[in-house]
Amino acid sequence: MSAIIELKDVVTFYDLIIALRSISISIEQGSITAILGNNGAGKSTILKTIMGLISRQPSKGDINFLGGKIAGIPTEQIVRLGISYVPEGREVFSELTVKENLLMGAYTRKDKKGVKKDFPWIYNYFPILKEKENQWAGTLSGGQQQMLAIGRALISRPKLLLLDEPSLGLSPLLVKEIFNIIKAINKEGVTIVLMEQNAKMALTISDYAYILENGRVGIKGPSVELLEKKEVRELYLGIYSGSSRNRYQNIKKK
């Protein structure tokens, strides 16, 4: 049992606005870790901080990946260490073809032959991408773009895959499909960090979970335990039991 990545007392600012207030998170190698939180809690900021996408941040704290410090080093180098990022809202290169998008995902890889062999591997997860191989990514549907964004991150053969709200704006059926694929990717040995507002789905597939509130870690623990916790059920899952259900019904009656 060892951590693949660790954030220690990380503080991140956007200019003068503080977004992360001393975050400490440890991700177990080979696990799926969910980080939950409402809009504005700081989920995206955590990933951008790890990737080094916010200039001169984190302003305090340490980030260790496989034992080495990565806070403050350029993004290109962080990617080369084996971290891959699926941004919120897909952010595919809309005027590149599906194939070119995947090629950009493999930008850091030197083994041309290996990359060529990995295309079928990606298309096996997402057969629709094979069909649309030569179309501009901008012409894909939201769900297909999400698949492309995941494929693009996967083809770099990462050790750690960071996903920012992959369920955003997708139909429940598609969300289920995507989450199944995330599980399958994890089975292949890729450690996964999953940022989600869709707490129910995320807690069902993850091993461990953190709940963010206002740039701080609130509740944390194994996902199975959080699923049973009363405050989690009420606040994040919308499941009311016992007295709270009555209270809700009382409100409804009024």
53 contacts which partner out of Mg ion, another protein, ligand ADP, none, CB within 5 to 8 A by kind? another protein
* Number of shown-chain residues binding Mg ion (CB under 5 A): 3
Chosen residue from 61, 87, 151, 166 binding another protein by CB under 8 A: 87
- Which position among 14, 72, 107, 222 is part of the footprint of another protein (CB under 8 A)? 107
CB closer to another protein, 74 vs 242? 74
Give the count of alpha carbons within 13 A of 174, CB side only.
15
Is-cis flag, bond preceding 58, omega within 30?
yes
Q: Where are the alpha helices (DSSP H) in the chain?
A: 43-51, 75-81, 98-105, 112-125, 127-131, 142-154, 172-187, 199-205, 223-228, 230-235, 243-253
Residue 2 engages another protein in binding (rule: CB under 8 A): no
- Residue 112 CB, nearest approach to Mg ion (Å): 35
Least gap, CB of 78 to another protein (angstroms): 8
Residue 112 Cβ, how far from another protein at the closest point, in Å?
9
Does 52 sit near ligand ADP (CB under 6 A)? no
- Give the CB-side neighbour count of residue 150, counting CA atoms within 13 A: 31
Nearest to 49 by CA among 30, 38, 35, 28: 35
Which residue, 37 or 105, is less far from another protein as judged by CB?
105
Contact residues for ligand ADP, defined by CB under 6 A? 14, 17, 19, 37, 39-45
